[in-house]
Copies of this chain bind each other. A is one copy, B any other.
Amino acid sequence: MVTRERPTLEAVARRAGVSRATVSRVVNGSTSVAASIREAVTRAVDELGYVPNQAARSLVTQRTESIALILPETANRVFSDDLFFPAIIRGVGVELEAADKQLVLMMAGSARSHGRVERYAVAGHVDGVMFASMHGADPLPGTLARLGIPVICSGRPIGRADVPYVDVDHFGGVCAAVRHLVAAGRRRIATIAGPQDMVAGIDRLAGYRATLEEAGLVQHVAIGDFTRESGIQAMRALLAGDPALDAVFVASDMMAHGALIALKDAGRRVPSDVAVIGFDDFEISRYSDPPLTTVRQPIADMGRTMARQLLGLVNGEQGLPDAVVLPTELVVRESA
């Protein structure tokens, strides 16, 4: 493994018989370089296999051409049974690739890593920071924004953190779902809600409550944490509380899948005995038994939108919206 010396600007300049500055201008595609010189420099660059040193460049431009995506979970939990983060990453990746920016991924579950993220961003390692769905009223986005670092969140921040964000219409989607159940004649409609320290959990529960109130129905609420296992537990609890339930709105597809399992175990048929609607529209839900009726949220689009907004901020564009809310849509399959 030969650590061949990498050629520097200086070397290219010598070889082409010009000054460093000229080479720099050619490399950066500046105009006002005579064609003959440009050509000579280009040849020297090729012959030496010159690639600009990013650290040196960043040092003077104060730009790194990379963007951080913070996943506010420990690396252990992220991805374990989850399709949300992968989809976000996918969307972000597409958009950043198009802009020729790099993606730096950071897990920030512990308080320790919290400081790590802050230091990292402040050290100027990235041009901007994106936060994927946070728990509670995390102060970090606000802190970074105040330090002048471009920041954007996926999911409306809890508290009045003054940070731009991208979110989906949880409330509207849930209302459509629950109204669908009501319209189908269901009268004992329960919900399995998500964690109440996350906007996605809170807003979806609010949508359920509002719609049931509007319909004058009794509410049955169980809380899960978006995992399949918690969906199983919650469904069991709901059935124990009211064995005559005829529908359940579940705040995530993963939990809905758990609910389907628990319902089958309990001898209920879906949708004849109990109708089930989920939220997410993961690929997997097309293949569940029965295929899951669910509220589609455009997760990858959220990622793309976040990335686009952040790039706008980084480039100092004016008039960017403080909030973008993407639509959700009820996808009717067989479970309801």
Residues of A within 8 A of B (CB): 1-4, 6, 51-56, 58-59, 64, 66, 75-76, 78-82, 85-87, 89-90, 93-94, 97, 100, 102-107, 113, 116, 119-120, 122-125, 145-148, 228, 257, 261, 283-284, 287, 289
Complex Cα distance A35/B113, Å? 29
Q: Which residues of B contact A283 (CB under 8 A)?
A: 80-81, 228
Q: How far is the CB of A194 from the nearest CB of chain B, in Å? A: 19
B257 in contact with A287 (CB, 8 Å): yes
Number of copies: 2
B90 in contact with A76 (CB, 8 Å): yes
B102 in contact with A90 (CB, 8 Å): no
B105 in contact with A2 (CB, 8 Å): no
B107 in contact with A104 (CB, 8 Å): no
A76 in contact with B55 (CB, 8 Å): no
Q: Which 10 A-B pairs have the closest CB atoms?
A: A75-B93, A3-B148, A55-B58, A79-B86, A55-B59, A54-B123, A79-B90, A51-B122, A75-B94, A54-B125
Q: How far is the CB of A305 from the nearest CB of chain B, in Å? A: 15
B125 in contact with A102 (CB, 8 Å): yes
Task: Jot down 24 A-B pairs with beta carbons below 8 A, ordered by A.
Answer: A2-B146, A2-B148, A3-B148, A6-B122, A51-B122, A54-B123, A55-B59, A55-B64, A58-B58, A59-B59, A75-B94, A75-B97, A78-B86, A78-B93, A79-B86, A79-B90, A80-B90, A97-B113, A102-B104, A102-B106, A104-B105, A105-B105, A228-B283, A284-B284
Q: Which residues of B contact A90 (CB under 8 A)?
A: 75-76, 78-80
Task: Pick the residue among B53, B81, B94, B103 that contacts A123 (CB under 8 A).
Answer: B53
B104 in contact with A1 (CB, 8 Å): no
B79 in contact with A94 (CB, 8 Å): no
Q: Which residues of B contact A257 (CB under 8 A)?
A: 287
A93 in contact with B107 (CB, 8 Å): yes
B124 in contact with A102 (CB, 8 Å): no
Q: Which residues of B contact A75 (CB under 8 A)?
A: 90, 93-94, 97
A94 in contact with B66 (CB, 8 Å): no
Complex Cα distance A284/B66, Å? 34
- In addition to A75-B94, A102-B106, 17 A-B residue pairs with Cβ atoms within 8 Å of each other are A1-B145, A6-B124, A53-B123, A53-B124, A54-B123, A58-B58, A59-B59, A75-B90, A76-B90, A78-B86, A78-B90, A80-B90, A102-B120, A102-B125, A228-B283, A261-B287, A284-B284
Q: How far is the CB of A81 from the nearest CB of chain B, in Å? A: 5
